[in-house]
Amino acid sequence: MRRFLTDRARRAVAASLRGATRPAAPSPAPAAALSRPSPSAPSAMAAYMARAMSTSAAGTPPVSLDTINPKVLEFKYAVRGEIVTHAQNLEQELHKNPESLPFDEILYCNIGNPHSLGQQPVTFFREVLSLCDHPALLDKSETHALYSSDAIERAWQILEKIPGRATGAYSHSQGVKGLRDEIAAGIAARDGFHASGDNIFLTDGASPAVHMMMQLLIRSEKDGILCPLPQYPLYSASIALHGGSFVPYFLDEETGWGLEVDELKKQVDEARSKGITVRALVVINPGNPTGQVLAEENQKKIVEFCKNEGLVLLADEVYQENIYVEDKQFHSFKKIARSMGYTDDDLPLVSFQSVSKGYYGECGKRGGYMEVTGFNADVREQIYKVASVNLCSNISGQILSSLIMNPPKVGDESYESFMVERDGIISSLARRAKALEEAFNSLEGITCNKAEGAMYLFPRLHLPQKAIGAAQAAGAAPDAYYALRLLQATGIVVVPGSGFGQAPGTYHFRCTILPQEDKIPAIISRFKEFHEKFMDEFRDVSRDEAPTGATIESGGD
Site residues for a copy of itself, 289-328, by CB under 8 A, read: 307-312
Residue 21 near a copy of itself by CB under 8 A: yes
Rank residues 259 and 439 by Cβ distance to a copy of itself and give the closer one.
Answer: 259
> Which span sits near a copy of itself by CB under 8 A: 234-242, 321-329, 406-414, 545-553?
234-242
Q: Any contact of residue 140 with a copy of itself (CB under 8 A)?
A: yes
Q: What residues numbered 395-434 form the site for a copy of itself, per CB under 8 A?
A: 395-397
Single out the residue of 134, 194, 409, 533 in contact with a copy of itself (rule: CB under 8 A): 134
- Contact range with a copy of itself by CB under 8 A, out of 2-10, 190-198, 286-294, 482-490: 2-10
In this chain, which of 83, 109, 127, 183 binds a copy of itself, going by CB under 8 A? 127
* Residues 479/346, Cβ–Cβ less than 8 Å: no
Name, in order, each residue with C-beta under 8 angstroms of 410's C-beta and a sequence gap of 6 or more: none
Query: Is the CB of 296 or the CB of 381 nearer to a copy of itself?
Result: 381
Going by C-alpha positions, the residue among 206, 207, 183, 204 that lies closest to residue 195 is: 183
> Closer to a copy of itself at the Cβ: 385 or 533?
385
Q: Within 10 A of 154 (CB to CB), how many other CB atoms are there?
A: 24
- Count of positions on this chain that bind a copy of itself (CB under 8 A): 175
Site for a copy of itself in 141-160 (CB under 8 A): 142-143, 145-146
**Residue 440 to residue 531: CA distance in whole angstroms:** 10
- Smallest gap from Cβ 206 to a copy of itself, in A, equals 10
By CB under 8 A, tell whether 139 contacts a copy of itself.
Answer: no
Minimum CB–partner distance for residue 363 and a copy of itself (Å)? 4
By the rule CB under 8 A, 164 interacts with a copy of itself: yes
Per-residue string for binding with a copy of itself, 462-481, x by CB under 8 A?
Answer: --------------------
Of residues 332-351, those binding a copy of itself (CB under 8 A): 345-346, 348
Distance in Å, CB of 528 to a copy of itself, minimum = 26
131 vs 399: CA distance, rounded Å: 11
- Applying the rule CB under 8 A, the residues between 24 and 63 that interact with a copy of itself are 24-29, 34-36, 38, 40-41, 44-45, 48, 51-52, 55-58, 60-63
Contacting residues for 421 by C-beta, under 8 A, at least 6 apart = 120, 122, 123, 359
**Does residue 218 interact with a copy of itself by CB under 8 A?**
yes
Of residues 172 through 201, those in contact with a copy of itself by CB under 8 A are 172-173
For residues 175 and 399, the answer to whether their CB atoms sit within 8 Å is: no
Instruction: Pick from 101, 103, 126, 196 the residue near a copy of itself by CB under 8 A.
Output: 126
- Closest by alpha carbon to 74, among 308, 315, 242, 209? 242
Binding mask 373-402 for a copy of itself (x = CB under 8 A): --xxxxx-xx--xx-xxxxxxxxxx-----
- The verdict on 516 binding a copy of itself (CB under 8 A) reads no
* Measured distance CA(151)–CA(41) in Å, rounded: 54
Nearest Cα residue to 355 out of 412, 296, 395: 395
Asked if residue 1 binds a copy of itself (CB under 8 A), the reply is yes
**Residue 402 near residue 155 (C-beta atoms within 8 A):** no
Q: How far is the CB of 533 from a copy of itself (least distance, A)?
A: 29
Phi-psi region of 190 (alpha: psi -120 to 50; beta: other; left: phi over 0): alpha
Asked if 317 contacts 285 with a C-beta cutoff of 8 angstroms, the reply is: yes
Shortest reach from residue 213's CB to a copy of itself, in Å: 10
Residue type at 74 in one-letter notation:
E
**How would DSSP label each residue in 162-211?**
SGGG-TTS---TT--HHHHHHHHHHHHHHHSS---GGGEEEESSHHHHHH
Residues 64-93 that bind a copy of itself (CB under 8 A): 64-65, 67-70, 72-77, 80, 88
The SS3 of residue 399 is helix
Residues numbered 260 to 279 that lie near a copy of itself (CB under 8 A) are 263, 267, 270, 275, 279
The SS3 call for residue 99 is coil
Q: How far is the CB of 358 from a copy of itself (least distance, A)?
A: 12
- Report yes or no: 320 and 283 within 8 Å, Cβ to Cβ: no
Nearest to 520 by CA among 496, 492, 497, 495: 492
Cβ partners under 8 Å of residue 417, min gap 6: 123, 124
Counting contacts by CB under 8 A, is residue 121 touching a copy of itself? Answer: yes
Q: How far is the CB of 543 from a copy of itself (least distance, A)?
A: 27
